[in-house]
Amino acid sequence: VGRTDPRHPRMPQARMVAENSSVTEFILAGLTHQPGLQLPLFFLFLGSYMVTAVGNLGLLTLIGLSSHLHTPMYFFLYNLSFIDFCYSTVITPKMLMSFVSEKNVISYAGCMTQLFFFLFFVVSESFILSAMAYDRYVAICNPLVYAATVSPRVCLLLSSGVYVMGFAGAMAHTVCMARLTFCANNLVDHYMCDILPLLELSCTSTHVNVLVVFVVVGIDIGVPSLTIFISYALILSSILHIRSTQGRSKAFSTCSSHMIAVSLFFGSGAFMYLKPSSLLPLSQGKVSSLFYTIVVPMLNPLIYSLRNKDVKVALKRWLHGRSF
């Protein structure tokens, strides 16, 4: 009735505009528009990506080749390095394009693909960190049953759950994003296809998407955070019952690397997504998102290698074997 009724002339016209002007590609604005900063930032982030790639691929190789690192703790660290390398690769190469090209164009399909894999690996990282916290809890609080509790089968189930949650979270956001219509404005004020900048461009209602953001992100941050908090509360209680100073120091050093990684990742992620938009504009929010997309994947292998005696020993053995 609306298409033929002359009393409703605007309805088919608005519908036609929405259908005909839906964008087929986006332009990523990048970090800055100042020409003098483009080249220095390009080399800065190229260097950080190279450190990320070498560090995480190095840990993957080292854990894979060193038989004495084939334990649950390093199994989870292996998965963490894999996730860090993958989601850094999803983001950084495309971001580097914005520093050396006038228009960093990405197709609609490419944008949705980048969004999916970025969310998949970020959600997976949050749950792998919680699995690592559980592993540390069992190792410190119940060492006598550690081998039975964190068995290879349990490790496999936990890692499978990590990737299932990553897939579910990424699918929820991507499907909701795909239902939106994007009209004339196709300039994404970010260096990647992220949820909040894309919602700003939609010319249809985003109420469902915003609800999904708070529910899904709340689960993906809340559940791992609660698991980590409970694990470390029990770990702290157990450490305080250790009488020897050396034993306490050893227990704290075992958990320190993981605690630093957790603080960096969850702190920056919660600050970006679980805050009112009035408190932090997107132009500043994309700077804060650098921490969990660029800085965290680069620092994780350094944190776990420089503060871990087993990794240092494995690296020395491997280097000695190669030189020999």
Quick: pLDDT tens for 213-228. Answer: 888 888 888 899 899 9
Q: How far apart are CA 302 and CA 81, in angstroms?
A: 11
**119 closest CA partner among 210, 49, 213:** 213
Average pLDDT over residues 108-131: 94
CATH class of 25-320: mainly alpha
Q: Which string of DSSP letters, residue by residue, matches 50-105? A: HHHHHHHHHHHHHHHH-GGG-SHHHHHHHHHHHHHHHHHHHHHHHHHHHHHSS-EE
pLDDT at 8: 43
pLDDT at 214: 86
Which stretch, 30-39, 173-182, 267-276, has highest mean pLDDT?
173-182
Give the Cβ contact number of residue 166 at 10 Å.
Answer: 24
Contact 182, 107 (CB under 8 A): no
Dump pLDDT digits (tens) for 233-289. 888 888 877 777 776 777 676 677 777 778 777 776 666 555 554 444 445 566 777
pLDDT at 321: 63
pLDDT at 284: 56
**205 closest CA partner among 237, 181, 174, 175:** 181
This prediction's pTM? 0.83
pLDDT for 141 beyond 60: yes
Q: Is 178 helix (H, G, I), strand (E, B) or coil?
A: helix
How many helices, marked H, and strands, marked E, lie in the chain? 13, 3
106 phi, psi to nearest 5 deg: -135, 135
Q: How far apart are CA 324 and CA 205, in angstroms?
A: 65
242 phi, psi to nearest 5 deg: -80, 125
User: For residue 136, what are its two tokens?
Assistant: 């540390």
- Residue the block writes with tokens 């970090």: 31
pLDDT for 155 beyond 90: yes
